A and B are shown apart, each in its own frame.
Chain A
Amino acid sequence: MRRMAAGANRTGLIIVGLLCLIVGVAVLSISLGLAPALAPGLTPDGQLQPVAAVLALPFSAVIALVVAVLLVVIGIRWLAAQVPRKDSAKPLRMQEDARTGVTTVNANVIAAAVVDDLELTPEVVDAQAILRGTARSPELLLHVDVDERADIDAVVADISDRVTHNCSQALGVPLSAVGVEIGIARSRQRKQRSVQL
Chain B
Amino acid sequence: MSPRLFRSRPARIMPAVIVSLIILALAVGLGWAAIAAIAVGGSGDSALTSGFSGFTDLGAAQWGTAAVIAVGAALLILGLIFTIAGISPGAKRIIGYRAEATEHIGRLEVVLPTSALSNLAAAAADSVDGVSSVRAASNASSTNITFSTPVRDNDQIRAEVDAAVSQRFSQIAFDRTPTVKVRAQRRQA
Contact = CB atoms under 8 A, between A and B. Distances in A.
B105 A175 contact: yes
Contact of A9 (B15, B50, B63): B15
Given A46-B63, A59-B44, A177-B106, A160 B101 contact: yes
A62 B38 contact: yes
A164 B56 contact: no
Interface residues of B, number: 92
A61 B12 contact: no
A89 interface: no
Contacts of A186: 119, 122-123
A78 B116 contact: no
Contacts of A160: 99-102, 105, 108
B145 interface: no
A180 interface: yes
A139 B120 CA distance: 28
Contact of A18 (B31, B65, B79, B103): B79
Contact of A17 (B17, B55, B82): B82
Given A27-B68, A161-B102, A182 B110 contact: yes
User: Secondary structure of the B side of the interface?
Assistant: helix
Contacts of B126: 190
B62 A44 contact: yes
B16 A55 contact: no
A48 B59 contact: yes
Contacts of A153: 171-173
B104 A4 contact: no
A76 B171 CA distance: 48
A28 to B, nearest CB: 4
Contacts of A20: 75-76, 78-79, 82
Given A31-B63, A52-B59, A78-B23, A6 B7 contact: yes
Given A48-B63, A71-B27, A178-B109, A28 B69 contact: yes
B45 A59 contact: yes
A91 interface: no
Contacts of A45: 62-64
B189 interface: no
A44 to B, nearest CB: 3
Interface in B147-180: 171-173
B71 interface: yes
Contacts of A65: 30-31, 34-35, 38
B41 interface: yes
Interface string B63-89: 111001101111111111111111100
Contacts of B17: 79, 82
Nearest to B46: A61
B24 A71 contact: yes
- Which 6 residue pairs are nearest across A and B when measured between Cβ atoms? A52-B59, A17-B82, A20-B79, A44-B64, A21-B79, A24-B75
5 contacts: A27-B72, A44-B64, A56-B55, A71-B23, A160-B108
